[in-house]
Protein backbone atom coordinates (compact mmCIF):
# COMPACT_ATOMS: atom_id res chain seq x y z
CA UNK A 1 0.00 0.00 0.00
CA UNK A 2 2.84 2.33 0.93
CA UNK A 3 4.47 1.50 -2.35
CA UNK A 4 1.35 2.56 -4.26
CA UNK A 5 1.08 5.86 -2.33
CA UNK A 6 4.74 6.68 -2.92
CA UNK A 7 4.39 5.90 -6.61
CA UNK A 8 1.30 8.09 -6.87
CA UNK A 9 2.97 10.97 -5.05
CA UNK A 10 6.04 10.71 -7.29
CA UNK A 11 3.87 10.68 -10.42
CA UNK A 12 1.98 13.80 -9.31
CA UNK A 13 5.21 15.60 -8.50
CA UNK A 14 6.68 14.76 -11.88
CA UNK A 15 3.48 15.84 -13.68
CA UNK A 16 3.33 19.10 -11.72
CA UNK A 17 6.93 19.85 -12.52
CA UNK A 18 6.30 19.22 -16.20
CA UNK A 19 3.30 21.52 -16.20
CA UNK A 20 5.29 24.24 -14.40
CA UNK A 21 8.14 23.81 -16.85
CA UNK A 22 5.76 24.18 -19.77
CA UNK A 23 4.06 27.27 -18.34
CA UNK A 24 5.20 30.50 -20.04
CA UNK A 25 4.90 33.79 -18.22
CA UNK A 26 4.17 36.66 -20.64
CA UNK A 27 5.24 40.08 -19.43
CA UNK A 28 3.15 42.97 -20.82
CA UNK A 29 5.03 44.69 -23.68
CA UNK A 30 4.71 48.46 -23.57
CA UNK A 31 3.19 49.96 -26.70
CA UNK A 32 5.44 52.07 -28.85
CA UNK A 33 4.87 55.77 -28.24
CA UNK A 34 2.59 57.25 -30.88
CA UNK A 35 4.11 59.93 -33.14
CA UNK A 36 3.10 63.56 -32.85
CA UNK A 37 -0.25 64.32 -34.50
CA UNK A 38 -0.70 67.77 -36.05
CA UNK A 39 -4.50 67.68 -36.11
CA UNK A 40 -6.02 70.56 -34.14
CA UNK A 41 -6.37 74.30 -33.87
CA UNK A 42 -3.67 76.73 -32.83
CA UNK A 43 -3.02 80.41 -32.14
CA UNK A 44 0.35 82.11 -32.21
CA UNK A 45 2.47 85.26 -32.15
CA UNK A 46 4.64 86.25 -35.10
CA UNK A 47 7.39 88.73 -35.89
CA UNK A 48 9.21 89.41 -39.10
CA UNK A 49 10.91 91.70 -41.57
CA UNK A 50 9.49 92.97 -44.87
CA UNK A 51 11.54 94.12 -47.87
CA UNK A 52 10.62 95.19 -51.39
CA UNK A 53 7.94 97.14 -53.18
CA UNK A 54 7.64 100.45 -55.02
CA UNK A 55 5.36 103.47 -55.32
CA UNK A 56 5.32 105.23 -58.68
CA UNK A 57 4.37 108.91 -58.53
CA UNK A 58 3.59 111.18 -61.49
CA UNK A 59 2.68 114.87 -61.18
CA UNK A 60 0.15 116.17 -63.69
CA UNK A 61 2.28 119.33 -64.05
CA UNK A 62 5.60 117.46 -64.25
CA UNK A 63 5.59 114.05 -65.87
CA UNK A 64 9.31 113.67 -65.21
CA UNK A 65 8.87 113.49 -61.42
CA UNK A 66 8.53 109.93 -60.14
CA UNK A 67 9.24 107.94 -56.98
CA UNK A 68 10.71 104.50 -56.74
CA UNK A 69 10.51 103.66 -53.04
CA UNK A 70 11.05 100.23 -51.49
CA UNK A 71 9.24 99.79 -48.16
CA UNK A 72 11.00 97.69 -45.56
CA UNK A 73 10.90 97.24 -41.79
CA UNK A 74 9.82 95.13 -38.84
CA UNK A 75 6.31 93.94 -38.10
CA UNK A 76 4.51 91.71 -35.61
CA UNK A 77 1.10 90.23 -34.99
CA UNK A 78 -1.05 87.15 -34.58
CA UNK A 79 -1.91 84.05 -36.57
CA UNK A 80 -4.58 81.41 -36.05
CA UNK A 81 -5.39 78.22 -37.92
CA UNK A 82 -6.38 74.57 -38.00
CA UNK A 83 -4.55 71.46 -39.28
CA UNK A 84 -5.86 68.04 -40.28
CA UNK A 85 -3.36 65.18 -40.49
CA UNK A 86 -4.15 62.11 -42.60
CA UNK A 87 -2.91 58.51 -42.38
CA UNK A 88 -0.36 59.11 -45.16
CA UNK A 89 1.23 61.94 -43.09
CA UNK A 90 -0.16 64.66 -45.35
CA UNK A 91 -1.27 67.68 -43.33
CA UNK A 92 -3.84 70.12 -44.74
CA UNK A 93 -4.67 73.35 -43.00
CA UNK A 94 -6.15 76.83 -43.17
CA UNK A 95 -4.65 79.91 -41.56
CA UNK A 96 -5.21 83.63 -41.18
CA UNK A 97 -2.76 86.24 -39.93
CA UNK A 98 -2.68 89.94 -39.10
CA UNK A 99 0.34 92.19 -38.50
CA UNK A 100 1.23 95.80 -37.80
CA UNK A 101 4.64 97.44 -37.68
CA UNK A 102 6.91 100.17 -39.01
CA UNK A 103 7.53 98.88 -42.53
CA UNK A 104 7.75 101.79 -44.95
CA UNK A 105 9.98 104.04 -47.04
CA UNK A 106 10.64 107.68 -47.68
CA UNK A 107 12.53 109.61 -50.35
CA UNK A 108 12.60 112.22 -53.11
CA UNK A 109 11.39 111.75 -56.66
CA UNK A 110 13.95 111.15 -59.37
CA UNK A 111 15.71 114.41 -60.29
CA UNK A 112 14.02 116.57 -57.61
CA UNK A 113 14.66 117.62 -54.03
CA UNK A 114 11.57 119.81 -53.64
CA UNK A 115 9.12 116.98 -52.95
CA UNK A 116 9.48 114.15 -50.49
CA UNK A 117 7.11 111.20 -50.03
CA UNK A 118 6.65 108.84 -47.07
CA UNK A 119 4.86 105.50 -47.39
CA UNK A 120 4.00 103.22 -44.48
CA UNK A 121 2.13 99.95 -44.14
CA UNK A 122 -0.53 100.49 -41.46
CA UNK A 123 -1.25 96.77 -41.40
CA UNK A 124 -1.13 93.61 -43.50
CA UNK A 125 -2.86 90.26 -43.37
CA UNK A 126 -3.74 87.12 -45.28
CA UNK A 127 -6.03 84.10 -45.46
CA UNK A 128 -4.21 81.02 -46.76
CA UNK A 129 -4.29 77.27 -47.29
CA UNK A 130 -1.38 75.11 -46.10
CA UNK A 131 -0.03 71.77 -47.32
CA UNK A 132 2.60 69.92 -45.31
CA UNK A 133 4.16 66.54 -44.67
CA UNK A 134 4.53 65.29 -41.12
CA UNK A 135 7.91 63.88 -40.06
CA UNK A 136 6.84 63.25 -36.49
CA UNK A 137 7.40 66.61 -34.74
CA UNK A 138 8.83 68.28 -37.85
CA UNK A 139 6.46 69.75 -40.45
CA UNK A 140 7.74 71.33 -43.70
CA UNK A 141 4.93 73.04 -45.63
CA UNK A 142 3.95 75.33 -48.47
CA UNK A 143 1.26 77.97 -48.21
CA UNK A 144 -0.66 80.38 -50.42
CA UNK A 145 -3.77 82.52 -50.52
CA UNK A 146 -5.21 86.04 -50.47
CA UNK A 147 -3.22 88.98 -49.07
CA UNK A 148 -4.49 92.41 -48.05
CA UNK A 149 -3.22 95.55 -46.35
CA UNK A 150 -3.33 99.32 -46.06
CA UNK A 151 -0.69 101.79 -47.25
CA UNK A 152 -0.51 105.35 -45.90
CA UNK A 153 0.99 108.00 -48.17
CA UNK A 154 2.10 111.52 -47.35
CA UNK A 155 3.95 114.03 -49.50
CA UNK A 156 5.63 117.29 -48.54
CA UNK A 157 6.72 120.20 -50.70
CA UNK A 158 9.72 122.10 -49.39
CA UNK A 159 9.06 120.63 -45.95
CA UNK A 160 5.42 121.77 -45.83
CA UNK A 161 2.47 119.38 -46.07
CA UNK A 162 1.31 118.86 -49.65
CA UNK A 163 -1.01 115.82 -49.86
CA UNK A 164 -1.80 112.48 -48.27
CA UNK A 165 -3.94 109.39 -48.82
CA UNK A 166 -4.68 105.90 -47.49
CA UNK A 167 -4.80 103.05 -49.97
CA UNK A 168 -6.40 99.64 -49.37
CA UNK A 169 -4.46 96.87 -51.10
CA UNK A 170 -5.36 93.32 -52.09
CA UNK A 171 -3.42 90.62 -53.87
CA UNK A 172 -1.95 87.17 -53.32
CA UNK A 173 0.84 85.52 -51.39
CA UNK A 174 2.79 82.28 -51.66
CA UNK A 175 5.62 80.79 -49.66
CA UNK A 176 6.77 78.02 -47.41
CA UNK A 177 8.33 77.18 -44.10
CA UNK A 178 8.76 74.60 -41.40
CA UNK A 179 7.41 74.00 -37.91
CA UNK A 180 8.74 72.00 -34.98
CA UNK A 181 6.68 70.83 -32.01
CA UNK A 182 8.66 71.33 -28.81
CA UNK A 183 5.85 69.62 -26.89
CA UNK A 184 2.28 68.51 -27.51
CA UNK A 185 1.16 72.15 -27.26
CA UNK A 186 4.17 74.35 -28.13
CA UNK A 187 5.13 74.84 -31.79
CA UNK A 188 7.86 77.02 -33.31
CA UNK A 189 8.03 78.08 -36.96
CA UNK A 190 10.11 79.85 -39.56
CA UNK A 191 8.51 81.07 -42.80
CA UNK A 192 9.15 83.00 -46.00
CA UNK A 193 6.37 84.57 -48.07
CA UNK A 194 6.29 86.52 -51.31
CA UNK A 195 3.42 89.01 -51.46
CA UNK A 196 2.19 90.66 -54.64
CA UNK A 197 -0.46 93.33 -54.20
CA UNK A 198 -2.53 94.39 -57.18
CA UNK A 199 -1.49 97.75 -58.66
CA UNK A 200 -3.52 100.51 -57.07
CA UNK A 201 -4.21 103.94 -58.66
CA UNK A 202 -5.01 106.78 -56.30
CA UNK A 203 -5.22 110.57 -56.51
CA UNK A 204 -4.32 112.36 -53.27
CA UNK A 205 -4.63 115.83 -54.87
CA UNK A 206 -6.02 117.39 -58.03
CA UNK A 207 -2.68 117.62 -59.84
CA UNK A 208 -1.13 114.22 -59.17
CA UNK A 209 -1.73 110.62 -60.00
CA UNK A 210 -0.06 107.81 -58.07
CA UNK A 211 0.24 104.09 -58.66
CA UNK A 212 1.21 101.79 -55.81
CA UNK A 213 3.00 98.70 -57.08
CA UNK A 214 3.84 96.70 -54.00
CA UNK A 215 5.78 93.42 -54.09
CA UNK A 216 7.27 92.33 -50.78
CA UNK A 217 9.45 89.56 -49.40
CA UNK A 218 8.47 88.65 -45.83
CA UNK A 219 10.64 86.65 -43.44
CA UNK A 220 8.73 85.49 -40.36
CA UNK A 221 9.20 83.55 -37.14
CA UNK A 222 6.43 82.46 -34.81
CA UNK A 223 5.46 80.55 -31.69
CA UNK A 224 2.03 78.95 -31.30
CA UNK A 225 -0.08 77.10 -28.75
CA UNK A 226 -1.82 74.01 -30.14
CA UNK A 227 -5.19 73.09 -28.67
Task: Compute the average pLDDT of residues 145-158.
Answer: 93
Q: What is the spatial distance between Cα 31 and Cα 96, in angstroms, rounded to a whole number? A: 38
Q: What is the pTM of this model?
A: 0.81
Q: What is the spatial distance between Cα 83 and Cα 227, in angstroms, rounded to a whole number? A: 11
Give the residues across from 26 on adjacent strands.
none
Q: What is the spatial distance between Cα 111 and Cα 106, in angstroms, rounded to a whole number? A: 15
Residue 99: CATH number of its domain: 2.40.160.20
Q: What is the pLDDT of residues 21-51, one digit of tens each?
A: 444 444 544 443 468 999 999 999 999 999 9
Q: What is the pLDDT of residues 178-195, one digit of tens each?
A: 999 999 999 999 999 999
Range of the domain at 80: 40-226
Q: Is 77 within the bounds of a domain?
A: yes
Range 107-114, long-range pairs (CB < 8 A, 24+ positions): 107/67, 107/69, 108/67, 109/57, 109/65, 109/66, 109/67, 110/64, 110/65, 110/66, 110/67, 110/68, 111/64, 111/65, 112/65, 114/157, 114/158
Among 60, 77, 161, smallest CA distance to 126 is for 77
Q: Is 50 within the bounds of a domain?
A: yes
What's the pLDDT score for residue 176?
98
Q: Is 31 within the bounds of a domain?
A: no
What's the pLDDT score for residue 70?
83
Query: Number of structural domains, the chain?
Result: 1
Q: Is 88 within the bounds of a domain?
A: yes
189/12: higher pLDDT? 189
Per-residue pLDDT for 88 more than 60? yes
Q: Is 21 within the bounds of a domain?
A: no
Q: Is 211 within the bounds of a domain?
A: yes
Whether the Cβ atoms of residue 218 and residue 48 lie closer than 8 Å to each other: yes
Amino acid sequence: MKTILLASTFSLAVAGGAIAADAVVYEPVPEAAAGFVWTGGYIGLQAGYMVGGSVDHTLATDTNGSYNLSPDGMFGGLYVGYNQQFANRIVLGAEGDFAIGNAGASGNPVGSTLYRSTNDFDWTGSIRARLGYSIDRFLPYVTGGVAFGRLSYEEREGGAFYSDAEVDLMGWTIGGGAEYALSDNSILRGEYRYVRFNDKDFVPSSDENLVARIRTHDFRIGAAYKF
